[in-house]
Structure 1
């Protein structure tokens, strides 16, 4: 037994106790400094966005106009131009917040202990309060406090900017004397109103680039998963295009009323805008908006995806229309293109599909090789492009593997739901398997998602999945089981999984994970219970063995009718390539130090190139076509800065990975022969599931039934009395709304002795 007195322990020879005590205290000291530094940096980031908001609050006021004009006068130069106040109050805060976010992310990686070794007990603190569901059923989906706050702030700034400016300018127009021969006053009011609409549109337009920056450090530092942030982009884009459309309509009325209709089609930049370029930009934007509407996007994803690539044309036309407005969006746009460029470099590496398995339900499980230091999380998302199916389309998939299995593999599961996914299953059909030698090339981007495994903070978890939404929970279950195997402490002790599938064959996806393959006696360490629902009531959807029981409940563990799941042949193939290419670690969400270096190099390069363009070309250009000339130089400066300056840093990053990120598989993986194997020949290490015809899970199977969520949560509240429970939902919007509503019903302050359900959505739709 170690003595408490470390000095005495040293005198009696227990010097290791002294060293251990010093090491523990030093680590605690360092972690304390890192935590304090993170809090200080987070406060600075909040201050950056406060300054950004202050700009829009002051801009409509007379005092603000004079204040910003004085700043423009003081720092105006031929090198950077005149809009100095925009750089200080609008561009610089976003850039500084981005750099600080990368510093915080790096501090988290270096100072935080391994998750699962020390669990932070959850409670209704600020972070849980912000994610509390307030409106579970709205046209915008499930809305939390942070969602409503975000919308309220944006709409308030837009309303203030437009309303205050319009009031002052319209009032000034009405009080002024009309000059003979001048346009009618109401048309002048239309012009002022139209300009203010365009100015207000710059608020959401400058932000909508951030949610679609997949590796955005701003999203990662506030722990907002990319898949959840996509809908912020949708909201911002809808507000932006609505304001731009109103801006164009009011200006059109002005031109028609003053008999200047032909001016709409003029390419001349008078007095400060190229009108026809603006209308062309609006047409492109509205086309992107219409094809992105849910009912069109889900039915015609190819159309949505291809049309949405016109965002490049939209931005170019926007710059042609009013190049001075580009200053408001320059930093978000550059950050987006830096992210896009890193993704392009990562995806240029061809990745061999290590293994592929066709499941009885028609879904395909794909496995890719990863480098030893490749980091991803159970709720991570990767984007995959398969040239053999389409050379243009990228699709996101949740990972279904855990890096703690130490196999250096990443797996995803693809279910045939559209033309692209059906193309994958067609490749693995029985007929084509014999004709096509298996050596697939793929491109991968990512991973993206929450850097912290928040579900480990809960002692009890409730996982609710619908359809293919089961895939992220396979990774969560694997991660928890492997952590138990590694001896981690403070892990979730009770997990309840509700899985709603249409047909019994869909349960084959769940059965790809057998917990006994990880821990043979897992039920003695963690309590996992599965409640599976086959919701179809059509007898034709059930195998012959169940036709007499289209509805009812059976026990998963003792039920011996699982042979129907394997009634169809299941194939597994392995690549025949002698050297297997792995996924690249060069990712926008990769090393924070390298990403920060790319950002700084690109920004410095842009400032230098843009300054030289101002001095050499722009200040000497004529007035009529200045927008086009200046816009082309702006775009050229941005592209060269990202590709040349940022590309040089990426080259150094790639070289640094060459030693630690081998492109070839280990010798144990070489020499795989192309083959297809029937499911009957594939056996688990510890047992033969196909012979036993039993599910590897404990729980029950409900045939032809749907869960009654009110009853389910009432029973859970009684069973888990007084606990904080993490509820993770992955599935369609209707499922998320139902579950969110029940979580809201059972929401209660901590300390009341009632069960508190913390809602977390891990679903995403594009």
Structure 2
């Protein structure tokens, strides 16, 4: 009798512990979602006068660092939230794996309702197979870009300054070109997230690196369209106002035009090889040309300065860490034990990964 009571008590305690752990995991995930929503909210409010005239001065006054100055505030607002999500996400995934995949009835209902959103909505088209949830978030992201660009234009046109040698349309073109660059910088903040295979960001939202590649492709096309339009608009502006000498100016304190042009040329060369016909038929050309992203972001940093780079720093930093981890993994040596030709003309390879362990493929 006593043994039965003890067993019942221990089982009830273990069930209570499981409930507590599940509650902690849910609270952690909700907290991470709130941090990410706050980060998105900052990007949403950035074009507004409220952020520029009210929030931004107060933030810079309260969080300005002794060593980093105003740059510290930029890192705190734009870089720290994503870094925090990545670190806390690692802890969450570790606890989730340790706790086991114990789903209750509510979570199963949520999974079943989410499965309907994951069904394909678009099958034929330039985007390939797109599910309902992918289409929804894509439209939300495009709405964010349209909102930011329209707000930037509305505020800039309301305070438009026309110089003596300019016409109104030229001043508006100058303003629109600058805002296109700002929207391109916003897209760069998301560009590397889908290709950070070893980070915790993708598993947190239930994605894999293979399924996320298309998001990187979509973002890459949007980035290059915006930056190309940015460069073309400025070229038209300089040509129409007899300021083509601006193309060879390299300012040390303001926006440097020459690095921007070099960044755009690097991006165009990279972009030209990403289209399916070239990528599939000449993959090596696509692969090696894709390394021009290093030149692109190097010249982009020289073009806009370190402040704008810090705004998109999380994606770049996580991608660099991911590349380093993959480099370490690629150095693992595998010993080939045997090779056998099968009757179906397939090849069986036996590898020895660890002492005493064999892997067959």
Partner of 2:92: 104
- How far apart, in 2, do the equivalents of 1:121 and 1:72 lie? 45
Alignment of 1:692-711 (within 5 A): none
Question: What SS does structure 2 have at the residue aligned with 1:137?
Answer: coil
Following TM superposition, by how much is the alpha carbon of 1:142 offset from its aligned partner in structure 2, in angstroms?
A: 1.3
- How far apart, in 1, do the equivalents of 2:32 and 2:112 lie? 20
Partner of 2:143: 156
- How far apart, in 1, do the equivalents of 2:12 and 2:22 lie? 15
- How far apart, in 2, do the equivalents of 1:33 and 1:144 lie? 34
Question: What SS does structure 2 have at the residue aligned with 1:139?
Answer: coil
Partner of 2:80: 92
Q: Is structure 2 residue 305 aligned with structure 1 residue 305?
A: no
Partner of 1:80: 68
Task: In structure 1, list runs of 5 or more residues that go unmatched.
Answer: 1-8, 373-406, 413-766
Q: How many residues align?
A: 357
Change (3 A) 1:160 1:85: farther
Alignment of 1:260-409 (within 5 A): 260-269=243-252, 272-323=254-305, 324-359=307-342, 363-371=346-354, 408-409=357-358
**Aligned partners of 1:158 and 1:201 also within 8 Å:** no
Following TM superposition, by how much is the alpha carbon of 1:369 offset from its aligned partner in structure 2, in angstroms?
A: 3.3
Query: In the alignment, which of 13, 37, 53 is matched to residue 40 of structure 2?
Result: 53
Query: In the alignment, which of 202, 223, 230 is matched to residue 185 of structure 2?
Result: 202
Larger radius of gyration: 1
- How far apart, in 1, do the equivalents of 2:52 and 2:151 lie? 13
Cα root mean square deviation, aligned: 2.5
Q: Would you tell me which structure has more helix in proportion to its own residues?
A: 2
Query: In the alignment, which of 104, 119, 136 is matched to residue 123 of structure 2?
Result: 136
**Aligned partners of 1:367 and 1:410 also within 8 Å:** yes
Partner of 2:24: 37
Following TM superposition, by how much is the alpha carbon of 1:162 offset from its aligned partner in structure 2, in angstroms?
A: 0.9
Q: Would you tell me which structure has more strand in proportion to its own residues?
A: 1
Task: In structure 2, list runs of 5 or more residues that go unmatched.
Answer: none
- How far apart, in 2, do the equivalents of 1:278 and 1:300 lie? 28
Q: Over residues 663-709 of structure 1, what are the superposed CA-to-partner deviations in whole Å (9 max), with x where a residue is unaligned? A: xxxxxxxxxxxxxxxxxxxxxxxxxxxxxxxxxxxxxxxxxxxxxxx
Query: In the alignment, which of 127, 138, 142 is matched to residue 114 of structure 2?
Result: 127
The TM-score, its normalising length taken from structure 2, stands at: 0.90
Q: Over residues 54-73 of structure 1, what are the superposed CA-to-partner deviations in whole Å (9 max), with x where a residue is unaligned? A: 11221121111121132123
Partner of 1:644: none
**Aligned partners of 1:72 and 1:83 also within 8 Å:** no
Following TM superposition, by how much is the alpha carbon of 1:24 offset from its aligned partner in structure 2, in angstroms?
A: 2.8
Query: In the alignment, which of 199, 214, 229 is matched to residue 216 of structure 1?
Result: 199
Following TM superposition, by how much is the alpha carbon of 1:42 offset from its aligned partner in structure 2, in angstroms?
A: 1.1
Change (3 A) 1:411 1:212: farther
Partner of 1:541: none
- How far apart, in 1, do the equivalents of 2:201 and 2:155 lie? 36
- How far apart, in 1, do the equivalents of 2:283 and 2:180 lie? 32
Alignment of 1:620-659 (within 5 A): none
Query: In the alignment, which of 217, 222, 230 is matched to residue 234 of structure 1?
Result: 217
Change (3 A) 1:223 1:410: farther
**Aligned partners of 1:370 and 1:408 also within 8 Å:** yes
The TM-score, its normalising length taken from structure 1, stands at: 0.44
